[in-house]
Structure 1
Amino acid sequence: MRDRLLAAEKIKAIDWRDGALFLLDQRVLPKVQTWLRYDSAAAVAEAIRTMVVRGAPAIGIAAGYGVALAARERLAAGGQWRAGVAADIALLAAARPTAVNLFWALNRMRERLERLADDAGVIAALDAEAQLIHESDREANLTMAQLGVDLIRKRQGHPQVLLTHCNAGALATGGFGTALGVIRGAWLEGLVEQVYADETRPWLQGSRLTAWELAEDGIPVTVNADSAAAHIMRTKGVTWVIVGADRIAANGDVANKIGTYGLAVNAMHHDVRFMVVAPSSTLDMSLENGEDIVLEARDGAELVGEGAPVAAFNPVFDVTPADLIDVIVTEKGVVERPNAAKMSALMCRKRLH
């Protein structure tokens, strides 16, 4: 199946060429496909903050390359360049608070830098580390796709109706996608009849990004208002809700795009299975449960427009309790009915591939 997945890989959102980072501007998709070039950590931090790049794995990958750019810039300037890189890492870390992949990637880059005693090899070493983060995520996507497809096949062996929320595809990762990677794999195996994509207010990642990705692959997709999801579960024969994650606590509680919690509640009521697909870098074992996750809230103007005469509450994420989740899929393996003991055991495993 892996070869078929690789052959179907079409879309990417991150590219590293000639010592510069290129990001596909997700703010203008699907009408325009514009690649933006970044040559500094400060510019990458701004791209993360302003949603040029989004999706927890993609944010982490971009941040890794941001550190590589920081080293280039600071070494060229001379002086106390390591202190300058440390400041750039702090700037990148402040760009978005919820997606743990950002901090995971920055810590990995920082640790790699700390092991380097010879300044002459810094740029090459950090470039290689950032590229390794990128490639590792791509490989994780492929493994998770295969594991998720196996779960869908076990439920029933004929084409099924799936529902997803926000964007957890190639645009949100370093490769094939997390939730959408599973859906893509299921399509290749003849297990998808129809996909419903929540529009995902207020940035409309579902209608602008997810629907575009699926349509590009020829997968039948229908966009729906977020508030229609329960009705769709009741009337359209949905068998699985499949979503990504921005941070997973030690007990299996999941922070993901606002609206995910409500989907999980509705899925349980309608006997629809609920699958979370995320690389192990999304697991934050330092947090006991979802109550400890910092949830980003953005400007209310994104919801109601500038100058609106009413206040607007605009949380970006919510927390889905572990007891509402049927299965968490990572590149290390699958956890059914997650809890603290099962998540701890998962993190002790090596990658499956």
Structure 2
Amino acid sequence: MRICIYGAGAIGGYLAFALAEAGADVSIVARGEHLAAVRRHGLCLRTAEWERRVEVEASDQPEDLGPQDYVIIALKAHSVPPLASRITTLFHDQTAVVTAVNGLPWWYFYRHGGPLENRTVESVDPGGLQWRLFGPERAIGCVVYPACEVEAPGVVRLIDGDRFVLGEPSGETSERVLKLAEMLKAGGLKAPIRPRIRDDIWIKLWGNLSFNPVSALTGGTLEQICRFPETRAVIRQMMIEAQAVGEALGVRFAIGVDKRIAGGEAVGAHKTSMLQDLERGRPLEIDALVSSVQEIARHLQLPTPTIDVVLGLVKLRAVTATSQ
């Protein structure tokens, strides 16, 4: 089984390590010092208890890696469209594309069955580029739960978690998703297959939609923004508005708003990924996490007043951050 991880940073590096441990023929697309370190010393995974290295083929030229059975995209959503044509150089006729990316995926309405069947999400996939180049029939959903970071070039630290939820857009348990789940499990990961992967996407998105922009605007950790009454109220209202959108699409929310907020608070003094990106001068992952929900709400003619306000503020915050 040939598997390429496109974007072998924190999450991608963790996946590459686990799959190599399982015996898959793993390659990664990386760049810069991280790529150089992996080539020299292998890919290192570090936890609080142990540290191990694996050898993986690594390149910044995907066209040199050859056709793959699975391509796992582990990039920020806004990074994918400019690279789409290069990603396709890894495909053969049956290559599956696994979207280990936060937010609403570009294939969301493929095999959806609702009124927006086969509609592209412009804020995630401008001009339907990924839909056209990748083909939605290749897509396998993946909801990422572990917390990892690149501690040094070639070194990924696993902070917490080992669960990657998988699912076909159609809800079927296909041979290709079964094989991938088995390989991930052989590498020590949890990889449940969900018949309703969109429910899992929305539970994760629920937190990303609200926690991330509020933390970026305030500089607060998850614990702080969930405990401070005024920011908690904003987060709660954003979640209520998003839930109405999700339910209009047929999503079932297995937990309530307050329990989801409590889960964020329990993480403690952790900075969200959007706040970390802001502090490091990186582009913010706004569209896949927030704009996408607003876009769908507009199609459904549902109001999202709090989401609209926070989205406008965080978009300007991203602009002012780059001009400082």
Task: Tell me the TM-score normalised to structure 2 length.
Answer: 0.32
* TM-score (ref. length: structure 1): 0.30
